[in-house]
Amino acid sequence: MEELKSMIRSIPNFPKEGIDFKDITTLLSDSRSFHRMIDLIAHRYFGQKIDQVVGVEARGFILGSVLAYKLGAGVTLVRKPGKLPFRIKSKDYALEYGTDSLEIHEDALKPGDRVIIADDLLATGGTVSAVVDLVESLGAEVVECAFMTELTFLNGRQRLPKDKVYSLLQFD
């Protein structure tokens, strides 16, 4: 895991002063590291009958789509306002440096669908907490929230369903 962690570049004071941004593009651009990271996360869910992987805009689209492919599942996108062309459900949420809103097509998930929510980073948990609410409002079951990385010192997993959070790499 330390080898994978070393592939993630830290950028201080981005997007604003005091934030230490974890840039995953360096890991994604290295084919060996990218394959290893996806295989390690996907292995956790083999044999669990996952119907959909929900990718969170925007970097969660990368992780979510590849996981869906590996698991033989569909991929559902949760987007920022105004990006989805059909009828939507929306949810406002607070994030570590402001507020925002997320949307999902109202027919994206069926009641009873078993879902993994995928994103690159768990920080304060506000974004994915909103996604959990959207998924559950459509009657789907959140199997787990899966992250490539987690900033453990921000305690984001406390805002998510108990025992339904997995992160491959942790930063203290």
Does residue 59 have an active-site annotation? yes
Contact 37, 148 (CB under 8 A): yes
Please choose, from the candidates 144, 89, 150, 101, the residue with its C-alpha nearest in 3D space to the C-alpha of residue 125. 150
Q: Which one of the listed residues 96, 106, 136, 141 is annotated catalytic?
A: 96
126: exposed, middle or buried (Cβ count in 10 Å: 0-12, 13-18, 19+): middle
Does residue 136 have an active-site annotation? no
Three-class DSSP category at 48: coil
Q: How far apart are CA 109 and CA 54, in angstroms?
A: 9
Q: Which one of the listed residues 59, 106, 114, 136 is annotated catalytic?
A: 59
Three-class DSSP category at 172: coil
Contact 5, 150 (CB under 8 A): no
Type of residue numbered 22? K
Q: Cis bond leading into 58, ω under 30°? A: yes
DSSP for residue 112: T
Residues classed as catalytic: 59, 96
